[in-house]
Amino acid sequence: MIVRLLLANCRCDPYHTEVNSAASITPAQGKLGILIPGLGAVSTTFIAGVEAIRQGIAKPIGSLTQMGTIRLGKRTDKRSPLLKEFLPLAQLDQLVFGGWDIYNDDCFQAASHAEVLEKDLLEKVKPLLSSIKPMAAVFDKNYVKRLDGPNVKKAATKMDLAEKLREDIRGFKADNKCDRLVMIWCGSTEAYRAPGAVHASLEAFEAGLKANHPDIAPSMIYAYAALQEGVPYANGAPNLTTDTGALLSLSRQNNAPICGKDFKTGQTLMKTILAPGLKARMLGLSGWFSTNILGTRDGEVLDDPESFKTKEESKLSVLEHILQPELYPDLYKNFYHKVRINYYPPRGDNKEGWDNIDIFGWLGYPMQIKVDFLCRDSILAAPIVLDLVLLMDLAKRTPELRGLGIQEWLSFYFKSPITPPGLYPEHDLFIQSMKLKNTMRHIMGEEMITHLGLEYYD
Ligand SMILES: NC(=O)c1ccc[n+]([C@@H]2O[C@H](COP(=O)([O-])OP(=O)(O)OC[C@H]3O[C@@H](n4cnc5c(N)ncnc54)[C@H](O)[C@@H]3O)[C@@H](O)[C@H]2O)c1
């Protein structure tokens, strides 16, 4: 006991790693500009929601940064501040919004078209929404076959398009007197591309921009422009964008954080809640069949096999990583995993996701679980957008984090976390949650929590 007491008071205790860098985080002064490629259902639901919360007519349900608390110290210390009071985050009234879209609709028109929020609510936030008009987009129909719009930039090369985006970014910052910016992709899912030589290094990528290389997608041009301007970039879609050698090195070079891809919302959220539980109790899995119907523009885009392939890759990888069949061959070797998305217009944003899960227990006896999640896609995604922009801005202001490039602690929010080459991603929501909160404690100079708890029994 004496040894343990000594350890508890000593900085060398492995369970009490401490740093004290809270003071080195730049305060969140001035305006934070949120730049969004893709002003569709998710982004307008996010912006309308922030404005409704600012007006005091709605609550930020689903947002960890706004509603969550964090335990500090021992359970007996009873210190559990709200995250937004613990961390030096930008306040909601410091946020300003802008973005790009291939359609000319302002955000009020786009939100009305998306039919996620009720007309009454939209009317109350109309002044802000109708003031946000999309800048001309960088678009390539080869990457999103189902869409075509008039509000598109023209230039001789992809490098010229990147330069135009950089001008937009600087212009937005100056016009809105922003102190800092964050970019978050809420545009459509692009056609599948595997990483190739043109994505491998910054030199190859820049040469490819100048030569109009066909494997450089619009989302990569936005990301390149943001990172060149030192602006953090988050990716709400499963597109191959920043998970390439080229953009990872640009991110590190310019202290502009990047994170995972594809918001973890409906069915995959459920999967990453259920699968860790089955594995924790050593229950086997023989098959997991997931199907969805949704009727938004996103659903229409995903009806194209090339865009669906990008989404499918993102959705499928989750179970392999959580269940680790190589460690548990008796339980998870050869489980069958199928994911389907069907475009069904009558449902709009009110997606329905069905899961049939075939599991087995003691002595191999089979059982079934059925999940029928009647969710609302953009309602689940909007608070993730809010958390990500606030936390990416925090990462940019935190010396210990901003030079890392990938912010793996934000994997909690993504279907496809990004990791450095050779490091497998954590998909288990509970591991991700612990990593997220321990990173917050760490940068604020608080002790990390291991849940060992032996000290309560001394
Ligand atoms: N809602 C969710 O639960 C969820 C979850 C994970 C990922 N996502 C992804 O988030 C993205 C947005 O979803 P949504 O429901 O808002 O879709 P949406 O179709 O309503 O909006 C996407 C917008 O992006 C625009 N766009 C397409 N390419 C563009 C480009 N190159 N530049 C600028 N604008 C462009 C489209 O015109 C459209 O207005 C999709 O990729 C979707 O797969 C959504």
**Per-residue model confidence as pLDDT tens for the chain (458 residues):** 333 333 333 333 333 344 446 889 999 999 999 999 999 999 999 999 999 999 999 999 999 999 999 999 999 999 999 999 999 999 999 999 999 999 999 999 999 999 999 999 999 999 999 999 999 999 999 999 888 999 999 999 999 999 999 999 999 999 999 999 999 999 999 999 899 999 999 999 999 999 999 999 999 999 999 999 999 999 999 999 999 999 999 999 999 999 999 999 988 999 999 999 999 999 999 999 999 898 888 788 888 888 888 877 777 788 988 999 999 999 999 999 999 889 999 988 888 999 999 999 999 999 999 999 999 999 999 999 999 999 999 999 999 999 999 999 999 999 999 999 889 999 899 999 999 999 999 999 999 998 888 989 98
Ligand 1, atom 32, lies closest to the CA of 137
Q: Is 294 in the pocket of ligand 1 (CB under 6 A)?
A: no
| CB 241 within 8 Å of CB 221 | no
What is the token pair recorded at 311? 């989404």
Q: Is 222 in the pocket of ligand 1 (CB under 6 A)?
A: no
State in words which class domain 267-374 has. Answer: alpha beta
Residue 223: per-residue pLDDT: 98
For residue 182, CA distances in Å to 255, 272, 285, 324 come to 13, 27, 41, 35
Q: Is 161 in the pocket of ligand 1 (CB under 6 A)?
A: no
> DSSP state, 424?
P
Positions of CATH 3.30.360.10 in the chain: 267-374
Q: Residue 107 and residue 376: Cα distance in Å, rounded? A: 19
Beta strands in 352-433 (DSSP E): 352-360, 366-374, 414-416
Q: Is 205 in the pocket of ligand 1 (CB under 6 A)?
A: no
Ligand 1, atom 3, lies closest to the CA of 377
Q: Residue 272 and residue 258: Cα distance in Å, rounded? A: 22
Find the DSSP H helices in 96-136: 107-114, 119-124, 126-131
Residue 348: per-residue pLDDT: 84
Distance 378 CA to ligand 1 centre (A): 10
Q: Which atom of ligand 1 is nearest to the CA of 218?
A: 31
Q: Is 380 in the pocket of ligand 1 (CB under 6 A)?
A: yes
Q: Is 298 in the pocket of ligand 1 (CB under 6 A)?
A: yes
Ligand 1, atom 40, lies closest to the CA of 188
Residue 21: per-residue pLDDT: 65
Q: Residue 87 and residue 219: Cα distance in Å, rounded? A: 30
Q: Residue 373 and residue 266: Cα distance in Å, rounded? A: 8
Q: Is 33 in the pocket of ligand 1 (CB under 6 A)?
A: no
CB atoms within 10 A of CB 345: 11
Ligand 1, atom 8, lies closest to the CA of 237
What is the token pair recorded at 354? 């069905």
**Could you tell me how far CA 411 lies from the centroid of its own chain?**
7
Q: Is 225 in the pocket of ligand 1 (CB under 6 A)?
A: no
Distance 313 CA to ligand 1 centre (A): 17
Distance 322 CA to ligand 1 centre (A): 27
**Could you tell me how far CA 40 lies from the centroid of its own chain?**
16
Q: Is 28 in the pocket of ligand 1 (CB under 6 A)?
A: no
| CB 385 within 8 Å of CB 95 | no
From the list 227, 255, 259, 98, the residue with the least C-alpha distance to 173 is: 98
What is the token pair recorded at 401? 């984090």
E strand or H helix at 32: strand 31-37
- Strands ordered across the beta sheet of 352-360: 336-343, 284-294, 352-360, 366-374
| CB 394 within 8 Å of CB 87 | yes
Grouping H, G, I as helix, E, B as strand and the rest as coil, residue 211 is: coil
Q: Residue 361 and residue 271: Cα distance in Å, rounded? A: 19
Q: Is 111 in the pocket of ligand 1 (CB under 6 A)?
A: no
What is the token pair recorded at 409? 């602690």
pTM of the predicted model over 0.85: yes
Q: Residue 383 and residue 155: Cα distance in Å, rounded? A: 35
Residue 316: per-residue pLDDT: 78
Distance 279 CA to ligand 1 centre (A): 33
Distance 287 CA to ligand 1 centre (A): 30
Distance 353 CA to ligand 1 centre (A): 19
What is the token pair recorded at 18? 């401490």
Amino acid at 419: T
For CA atoms 340, 341, 347, 349, the dihedral sign is: positive
Q: Is 217 in the pocket of ligand 1 (CB under 6 A)?
A: no
Q: Is 100 in the pocket of ligand 1 (CB under 6 A)?
A: yes
Q: Which atom of ligand 1 is nearest to the CA of 263?
A: 6
Pairing assessment for the beta strands 284-294 and 352-360 based on DSSP bridges? antiparallel
What is the token pair recorded at 420? 């450095």
For CA atoms 312, 112, 32, 84, the dihedral sign is: negative
Positions of CATH 3.40.50.720 in the chain: 2-264+379-443
Distance 110 CA to ligand 1 centre (A): 12
Ligand 1, atom 9, lies closest to the CA of 237
From the list 49, 66, 47, the residue with the least C-alpha distance to 58 is: 49
Mutation test residue for ligand 1: of 188, 190, 312, 339, the one with most atoms within 8 Å of CB: 188
| CB 70 within 8 Å of CB 440 | yes
Mutation test residue for ligand 1: of 36, 42, 135, 263, the one with most atoms within 8 Å of CB: 42
**Could you tell me how far CA 190 lies from the centroid of its own chain?**
16
Residue 457: per-residue pLDDT: 92
Distance 296 CA to ligand 1 centre (A): 10
Residue 364 φ/ψ region, left for φ over 0, alpha for ψ in the -120 to 50 degree band, beta for the rest: left
Q: Residue 10 and residue 8: Cα distance in Å, rounded? A: 6
Q: Which atom of ligand 1 is nearest to the CA of 188?
A: 41
Q: Is 348 in the pocket of ligand 1 (CB under 6 A)?
A: no
Q: Is 296 in the pocket of ligand 1 (CB under 6 A)?
A: yes
Architecture of domain 2-264+379-443 in this structure: 3-Layer(aba) Sandwich (3.40)
Residue 2: per-residue pLDDT: 37
| CB 136 within 8 Å of CB 171 | no
